[in-house]
Structure 1
Amino acid sequence: MGIDESSLAMGRRGFLRTGAGAVLAGALGTGALSTLAGCGSGGDTSKVSSAADVKLPTSVPYQGPEPDIAATADGVPAAFYNYPKPQRAFPNPPLKNEKISAITNVFGPPPPGRSKNPAWQEIEKRLGAQVDITSVSSADYETKLNTVIAGGKLPDIMLYDGAGISNLPRFLESACADLTPLLGGDKAKQYPHLAMIPKAVWETCTQAGKLYFLPIPRSIVGGSGFYNSTLFGQVGVGDTTAIKNADEFLGVLKQLTRPKQNRWALGSTNFGTTPFHHIFGTPNVWKLDGGKLVKNYETDEYKATLEFLVKAHRAGCFVPGSEGWTKQQMQNAFAAGKVAMIYDGLPAYAGPTGYFRTLPQTHKGYQAKPFLPFGHDGGKPVTWKDNIAFGWIMLAKADEKRLHTVLKACDFLASPFGTEEYLLLNYGVEGADYSLDAKGNPSLTAKGNQDTLVPWKFLSAPSQVVYDPSSRDYVDILHGAYAKLIPGSVANPVDTLYSPTDGKQGATLNQAVSDTVTSIIAGRKPLSAFDDAVKKWRSGGGDTIRKEYEQALGKK
């Protein structure tokens, strides 16, 4: 439901997938930890292999309320125009007088503490446990998490959102619980809400041959950004998928750019390259070609994307200096009508501060829509499976009884949409934090807007749905975007693999390419510098990473 958390996470993991710096600095991508994908058997953190070695939880479909628009087998989420009649998932508290500690990030101001927060109190009552949460600003989370790790006294629950942990496999092996014996196969059924999470999401939760993570699920694709459909309509584009080719698109961008009116076609952090890679068909980080892996940097599609972006920059289509914007600066520029098209993850469409609402609030009649890509040569575009999860939960090592207690709490926090517990976790206490309208939809009070800032959704979470009772248009537009983007979306072929070299050096290697790409688009370096950067990537460890992934593919 929040705008910042999901889109930021997508950016972190999608950094290398988007062509070295598409959306936000500090992204994880495959380079840092291969989307937390699996490694070999046993505790050998240097061994190459596949998540196929791990016994994943058995996934059990949720038999909940019937949606207005059904989910699909390929991952398009269910959609609801109204909140269904709530079903109670836990007749009795699953725990009794327990204490659980956690560390996670928070977006926005800190919430009221337990003593002034009726929602927090009721959640703990219904759970049967006191949950002590260390909430850290997202900007400071990486530093704080590493400080806690260095201190050696770990909380029960720790969010891993892509922030750098030195030698993650070793940390997991030495300090975190192997969840395979507790959740592998049918054992997951004792935690029914965790078991409802699809296999594709669980596949991102393995490392070092073991199940080390619980996921915070998202909706498969991060999308291709957003555009001001009103401004596009003024230059004759009513449907972005109808744009014939890249040349026509460049002409559209030039028409949208009107510096004298303080308006440009483009302006995103790190140039927002993801939509353009989709248009030109760049692979999702890696491409498997006859058993051989080809890095996205090494493809003609990647270079064609870069050449197009150089043309767009030379034509003045980017807001000057926008590549260095913070996310807030980018959001403000789009809401002000200064930029016609930006790159941000699809979750940023939602909520009171999402693009769907902020743009028409600042410019009556303007409408923001998810950008749906076209093929650069008239063919089909490519979209990526790059937002499978916001992040992952690590549990501190403990005896089986303690881990069972913590997993019960996580299962409670993963109560799915349509349950009373989901309503409580997301909207608080009826009367104090929200009221229900005639159709049973919750509406937050001023107090509820504060009380619900407690980051429960970053300690465990269910699969997402599309829901907004205030706007049927929103539900239809967003669900329609997922329905077009998810089918046929391309996975990274190494997403369920692990490369030790990638885990240790990947982020640094890819950052160097990212910096070069940014400089080339900005005109500070020639296009030829890209080939040099790719050569350095290969010789500096890229070829070793490729070899290790190919070895892992051979084990699948």
Structure 2
Amino acid sequence: MVHISRREAVLGAAALGAGAALSACSGPGDGSGQTAGGDLALPTYTPFDGAPPDWPGDDVLLDGYRTYPADPIVGVEEPPGDGEPVSFITNIPGAIPPQMADNPFWQAMNTAIGSELRIEMAPNADYETKFQTRIASGDLPDMINIPVTTPDLPGLLSATCMDLTEHLSGDAVSAYPYLANLGPEYWRGCVADGAIYGVPVPRLFSRNFVVLTRRDLLQARGVDPDVQVTTWDEFVDLCRELTRPAENTWALTRVPANIAHMAAGIPNGWHRAEDGSFTHYIEHENMTASLEAQAQLFEAGVLNPDSFVANASTRKEWFSGGSAAMDYDSFIAWTQYESENLGTPDFSVGGIVAPSYQGAEPVQWLGGALNNITGFSADSSHSAETLLGIANYLAAPFGTAEYLLKKYGVRGEQHELDGTDPIPTSRGVQEVGIGLQYICDAPTAYYFPGDPGVPERQHAVQERMKDVLSKDDGYGLYSATRDQKAAEIETPVWDAMNEMVQGRRSLSEYPDVVATWRENGGARIAEELAEAHEASGLA
């Protein structure tokens, strides 16, 4: 997040969930420090010299690996903890794992960290309520998983969290090499009032969305399992070929709306024009074309009939169970699908990038930079150095001994080796998910133990996307109106879009829908983002 005084109320982070921007900055690892507006230097980006990737990425694209190194690098020689318990509150995406007393993995991590990790967990659906309750009570743990959509995030960070600037700004971050391995686009989201108030949990490209395909089902239908389509018409034809209503099988779990936006050449999120003005993608002149593209899928009958009312869990069941050949989700979901279906013979996932709709130049939306920010309570009895040391350990990248332990646990307990690859045991599946990845993490690596074909396919799809990435220019810029009213004024837009795709409303009404959005706050948000960008000092 870029800096300006909160009194001017033009910067903050309520927009972090909308996507990531790679704003103008000096090159990675040049030692100069990246500026975040004002005089603050972001942590100097110094890529960790670790395991050479089989499929190289860069500071945005992800590295891919066939196998885990036989001799993982040890980057943390001494446990970073101070011997006293460290508390943390977080969400958990899956089942709540065995608690510390019954969880040997958790106990092993306590030993490696050098402090007992007292982790309070809540399911995803309950976390926001738990988080807000704890904030309101003032009874905060030492380390806090702070959602990036938190209202008035700059105020919360500066009021409740340690100022970490002196420990992280510029070359000071070199004391924490794994944290220095995180690029400036991640740290920008951790700044408020000209200071660094937390550590990032990075995502970015791993949250790029694609049309995920069941390669095994495509092949069974006589379709190239790695098929790519270049036009929307070809995509619709493929969907028709994969749909068998009499067999209760459908091409798609839902309308891939954002893929249609990309196919129509619509920029990601908020777009900044050369004159400095901001527009939202829903205002783009090609939005009607995108809605037409989506309506084609509905009219072709290639969507599960319950797609507009089903929740995410149900859609995942359709895809995993084979009643849908394609889903619309991220690279993270791709890996999860592969992991959760190891017992399904021939189960295999591929990806289709956005094709062109009616000759438009398609783009690929870059995923959101952060999953969350981890703040350190200003009232914690631990030093900033201790908590940063723990975060540094958990930011260990692929190929290190620390990464192997935090992701796969102890050999013979939570994993066994297949060659040099750690294969989770049944215990590992149950015990490892204690939420360490939400304290801090490394950029995602394409890797799947025991099956190098998965990262090879993922990297190949990434290569198809890299030259036309579209960032959200609103990332890291604060708009008070967006903070307060975005959901209220956007919900009618999404509802109208769904009705138009299903033929219940005319596409001719769309300009009026957008006009209402602008009148109710959209235009003011655009003005505030332009003011924020001008004040930020960013190019």
Shared fold, TM over 0.5? yes
Establish whether residue 346 from structure 1 lines up as the match of residue 326 from structure 2: no
Question: How far apart are 1:248 and its partner, in Å?
Answer: 3.5
1:414–1:462 contact (8 Å) kept in structure 2: yes
2:10–2:528 contact (8 Å) kept in structure 1: no
Matched with 2:321 is 336
Partner SS, residue 484 of structure 2? helix
Give 1:214-229 correspondences, 5 Å limit.
214-220=199-205, 221-229=207-215
Question: How far apart are 1:153 and its partner, in Å?
Answer: 0.9
Q: Distance in 2 between matches of 1:486 and 1:52?
A: 28
Partner SS, residue 116 of structure 2? strand
Q: Distance in 2 between matches of 1:186 and 1:170?
A: 26
Q: Distance in 1 between matches of 2:340 and 2:428?
A: 20
Kindly provide the amino acid, as one letter, of the partner of residue 150 in structure 1.
A
Kindly provide the amino acid, as one letter, of the partner of residue 303 in structure 1.
T
Question: How far apart are 1:477 and its partner, in Å?
Answer: 0.3
Q: Distance in 2 between matches of 1:231 and 1:426?
A: 31
**Residue in structure 1 matching 2:9, options 46, 49, 52:** 46
Matched with 2:16 is none
Establish whether residue 97 from structure 1 lines up as the match of residue 77 from structure 2: no
Question: How far apart are 1:208 and its partner, in Å?
Answer: 4.2
Matched with 1:412 is 393
TM superposition score normalised by structure 2: 0.88
CA distances 1:502-552 after superposition (whole Å, capped 9, x unpaired): 222223222231222223223333323432221121011111111111123
CA distances 1:476-505 after superposition (whole Å, capped 9, x unpaired): 101112222233311112223222222222
**Residue in structure 1 matching 2:101, options 115, 123, 126:** 115
Matched with 1:538 is 518
Structure 1: stretches of 5+ with no match in the other structure: 1-36
Matched with 2:500 is 520
**Residue in structure 2 matching 1:461, options 438, 441, 460:** 441
1:48–1:551 contact (8 Å) kept in structure 2: no
1:356–1:369 contact (8 Å) kept in structure 2: no
Matched with 2:286 is 301
Kindly provide the amino acid, as one letter, of the partner of residue 246 in structure 1.
W
Establish whether residue 132 from structure 1 lines up as the match of residue 132 from structure 2: no
Q: Distance in 2 between matches of 1:398 and 1:178?
A: 12
Matched with 1:155 is 141
Kindly provide the amino acid, as one letter, of the partner of residue 543 in structure 1.
A
Q: Distance in 2 between matches of 1:497 and 1:154?
A: 27
**Residue in structure 2 matching 1:499, options 464, 479, 488:** 479
Distance 1:381 1:216, change over 3 A: same
Kindly provide the amino acid, as one letter, of the partner of residue 242 in structure 2.
L
CA distances 1:275-324 after superposition (whole Å, capped 9, x unpaired): 21221111101223322222211112222111221232133222112122
**Residue in structure 1 matching 2:153, options 168, 174, 195:** 168
**Residue in structure 1 matching 2:305, options 313, 320, 330:** 320
Kindly provide the amino acid, as one letter, of the partner of residue 119 in structure 1.
F
Partner SS, residue 69 of structure 1? coil
Is the deviation greater in 247-256 or in 546-555? 247-256
Matched with 1:275 is 259
CA distances 1:86-108 after superposition (whole Å, capped 9, x unpaired): 22222222233122111001122
Distance 1:48 1:159, change over 3 A: closer
Kindly provide the amino acid, as one letter, of the partner of residue 102 in structure 1.
F
Q: Distance in 2 between matches of 1:68 and 1:248?
A: 32
Distance 1:85 1:129, change over 3 A: same
Matched with 1:487 is 467
1:158–1:394 contact (8 Å) kept in structure 2: yes
Q: Distance in 2 between matches of 1:520 and 1:231?
A: 31
Give 1:228-247 correspondences, 5 Å limit.
228-229=214-215, 232=218, 234=221, 240-243=227-230, 245-247=231-233
**Residue in structure 1 matching 2:349, options 361, 368, 383:** 368
Q: Distance in 2 between matches of 1:394 and 1:68?
A: 35
Is the deviation greater in 91-100 or in 136-145? 91-100
Matched with 2:430 is 450
Partner SS, residue 132 of structure 1? strand
Q: Distance in 1 between matches of 2:441 and 2:469?
A: 24
Aligned residues: CA RMSD: 2.5
Q: Distance in 1 between matches of 2:113 and 2:271?
A: 45
1:43–1:173 contact (8 Å) kept in structure 2: no
Question: How far apart are 1:361 and its partner, in Å?
Answer: 5.3
Is the deviation greater in 415-424 or in 376-385? 376-385
Distance 1:454 1:91, change over 3 A: same
Give 1:11-26 correspondences, 5 Å limit.
none
Kindly provide the amino acid, as one letter, of the partner of residue 226 in structure 1.
L
Matched with 1:391 is 372
Kindly provide the amino acid, as one letter, of the partner of residue 171 in structure 1.
L
Q: Distance in 2 between matches of 1:414 and 1:514?
A: 37
Kindly provide the amino acid, as one letter, of the partner of residue 284 in structure 1.
N
2:243–2:249 contact (8 Å) kept in structure 1: yes
Kindly provide the amino acid, as one letter, of the partner of residue 173 in structure 2.
A
Distance 1:129 1:356, change over 3 A: closer
**Residue in structure 1 matching 2:413, options 400, 412, 432:** 432
Question: How far apart are 1:401 and its partner, in Å?
Answer: 6.3
Kindly provide the amino acid, as one letter, of the partner of residue 331 in structure 1.
K
Question: How far apart are 1:216 and its partner, in Å?
Answer: 1.3
CA distances 1:317-373 after superposition (whole Å, capped 9, x unpaired): 22112122121111111122222222111111114xx14763x855x5564211222
**Residue in structure 2 matching 1:56, options 42, 56, 80:** 42
Aligned length: 510
Distance 1:196 1:485, change over 3 A: same
Question: How far apart are 1:399 and its partner, in Å?
Answer: 7.5
Matched with 1:289 is 273
Kindly provide the amino acid, as one letter, of the partner of residue 550 in structure 1.
A
